[in-house]
Amino acid sequence: MNILEKIALDKRAEVEEKKDLIPMKSLELMPGFSRKCVSLSQQLRDSNTGIIAEFKRRSPSVPDLNLNADVKQVTGGYEKAGASGISVLTDEIYFGGSMDDLFAAREEVKIPILRKDFMIDEYQILESKAIGADVILLIAALLNKKEIKAFSELAKSLGMDVLLEVHNEEELQKSIMSSIDMIGVNNRNLKNFDVDTNISKELSEKIPSEFVKVSESGISSTAAIKDLQKYNFKGFLIGGNFMKTEDPGKSAEEFIRELKSKK
Ligand SMILES: O=C(O)c1ccccc1NCC(=O)[C@H](O)[C@H](O)COP(=O)(O)O
């Protein structure tokens, strides 16, 4: 069983438990439901930098990234740095995140927040809206075409944007549909954790132009972004490169300043 299959298995058990604790109907009474979402895809279209800065304490590939990081301090720093959006890991078992982290980030920032988790049930889409997310992530490797359609249409009906993540052409082909806003290419091979931004470049021309293209994982230099921009990528999801430092907000600020200064 690969790591993604393992995560999905645990996630199913977690979601079933949650459904008993907070029924779907109760989610609709939570504050996020009355909040109007801010569109990440629009922010990326309008930006010359397009950084989606991620808050994560640890991950399967880096188990001790920044275990004691303060979510408000980091996400506030990312917003001040000029990030177009923020990604918050809410998975607890593998990433040390929580719904409280996203809730706290929502209190701190105005820019769009992507809920980074492993969506396998409609319950999680409603939950994302309830806690104040603007965007959900759907991972094509975890879902069939029918699920991608149902989950993305539900998210759109709640006013959220949808970022659909692929790692190969087969996943891309099954995911092309009008309820998707952004297509993210994950440069990380989740079987062995190798990262290679050439995956983004190779898939770029196969992504129809109506979708905002996002390159995810393993980005650690402004030169890599300048290169990916030549392939029409507008969004760049960066986690470890910022979170491994003592002050991720400052690290993002220096990175974005350097990116802006490059022709
Ligand atoms: O990061 C991992 O080890 C990982 C393992 C299994 C599933 C997902 C994983 N990462 C989630 C992400 O998508 C990344 O956190 C995100 O793209 C940022 O990547 P990076 O800039 O390389 O930290």
In tens, the pLDDT along 187-232 reads 999 888 899 999 999 999 999 999 999 999 999 999 999 999 999 9
- The residue whose C-alpha atom lies closest to atom 13 belonging to ligand 1 is 217
Instruction: Decide: 53 in ligand 1 pocket, CB within 6 A.
Output: no
pLDDT at 170 over 80: yes
Res 156 pLDDT > 90: yes
Quick check: 21 pLDDT over 80? yes
Residue 38 DSSP symbol: P
Query: Ligand 1: does its nearest atom lie under 6 Å from the Cβ of 56?
Result: yes
Distance CA 115, CA 95 (A): 13
Contact 109, 86 (CB under 8 A): yes
Structural domains for the chain: 3-261 (3.20.20.70)
Give mean pLDDT, residues 166-180.
96
91 lines ligand 1 (CB under 6 A): no
Looking at the predicted structure, is the pLDDT value of residue 263 above 80? no
List the single range of 43-47, 119-123, 157-161, 259-263 with lowest mean pLDDT: 259-263
CB-ligand 1 contact for 240 (6 Å cutoff) = yes
What is the pLDDT at residue 31? Answer: 85
Q: Kindly tell me if the per-residue pLDDT of 114 is higher than 80.
A: yes
What is the helix (H) or strand (E) element at residue 235, kind and residue range?
Answer: strand 235-238
Mean residue pLDDT of the chain comes to: 96
Please report, rounded to a whole number, the percentage of residues in the chain having pLDDT higher than 90.
95
pLDDT at 108 > cutoff 80: yes
From the CB of 187, is ligand 1 less than 6 Å away?
Answer: no
Q: How far is the CA of 34 from the centre of ligand 1 (A)?
A: 31
Whether the CB-CB separation of 95 and 102 falls below 8 Å is answered with no
Choosing from 136, 188, 233, 236 the residue with most ligand 1 atoms within 8 A of its CB, the one to mutate for a pocket test is 188
Ligand 1 within 6 A of CB of 238: yes
Q: Is there a contact between 111 and 43 (Cβ–Cβ < 8 Å)? A: yes
The pLDDT value given to residue 250: 98
Q: What is the pTM of this model?
A: 0.97
State residue 262's pLDDT score: 84
| Contact yes or no for 105/77 (Cβ under 8 A) | no
By alpha-carbon position, which residue is closest to atom 10 of ligand 1? 59
Residue 198 has a pLDDT of: 96
| Residue 130 in this model has a pLDDT that exceeds 80 | yes
Q: DSSP strand E in 38-172: where?
A: 51-55, 85-89, 113-116, 135-139, 161-166
Q: Which of 51, 58, 59, 216 is the best mutation target for the ligand 1 pocket, counting ligand atoms within 8 Å of the beta carbon and taking the most? A: 59
